[in-house]
Structure 1
């Protein structure tokens, strides 16, 4: 199964089915996940589940790469210039990654 994460919807758009993650918790890539940068964003491959995810936004790639160096996801978002007004759409994207075990609590 592969998943495509596209972050082009405005913050006011509703996205159903994804509640997001707790931004006040630290997150990191699962130890069995490899992130490969691509011109469009990045590929994430989980060697344990054999799932493939596409990150089609360079900002979310930067957030995911910086998660281990921040105490919580909110700090990682702020470090990329993402304020609380637009954090919800990124929380939903991170929630999708958490549901597929691409990222795990630190």
Structure 2
């Protein structure tokens, strides 16, 4: 079942995803699907790592200092991570 990205709900990293910090951002590796994703700046890394601490993706973005009018590229990146199953809805085990 595919889950559509909704920025107004809670998200977290899939339990099979490892995050490896890099100078440019981070690498995400999904041990279940064997997919690799690149996070190209430290701000998106901060957001991804803090998603589980916030009630929804927009709150995580705001906490990282990203104003609502600058969220579009970050929301797109989070949507791509949801499509690749790196991120899952908060209630998913």
The CA distance in 1 between the partners of 2:51 and 2:24, in whole Å, is 20
Matched, 1:76 2:83: no
User: Which 5+ residue runs of structure 2 have no aligned equivalent?
Assistant: none
Structure 1 residue 51 displacement after superposition: 0.3
Q: In structure 2, which of residues 43, 48, 56 is the aligned counterpart of residue 64 of structure 1?
A: 48
Structure 1 gaps of 5+ residues are 1-19
- Report deviation, 1:21: 2.8
Query: Deviation digits for residues 49-99 of structure 1, max 9, x if unmatched?
Result: 000011111100000000010111111000001111011111100000000
Which of 73, 82, 86 matches 2:70?
A: 86
Instruction: Provide the alpha-carbon RMSD of the alignment.
Output: 1.1
* TM-score, structure 1 as length reference: 0.79
- C-alpha distance in structure 1 between counterparts of 2:42 and 2:60, whole Å: 14
Partner of residue 47, structure 1: 31
How far, CA to CA, are the matches of 1:99 and 1:56 in structure 2?
17
Q: Which has the higher helix share?
A: 2
Residues 23-69 of structure 1: per-residue CA shift (max 9 Å, x gap) = 11000000100011111100000000000011111100000000010
How is 1:4-15 mapped onto 2 (pairs within 5 angstroms)? none
Cα distance in 1 between the residues matched to 2:80 and 2:46 = 16
How many angstroms apart in 2 are the aligned matches of 1:23 and 1:50? 25
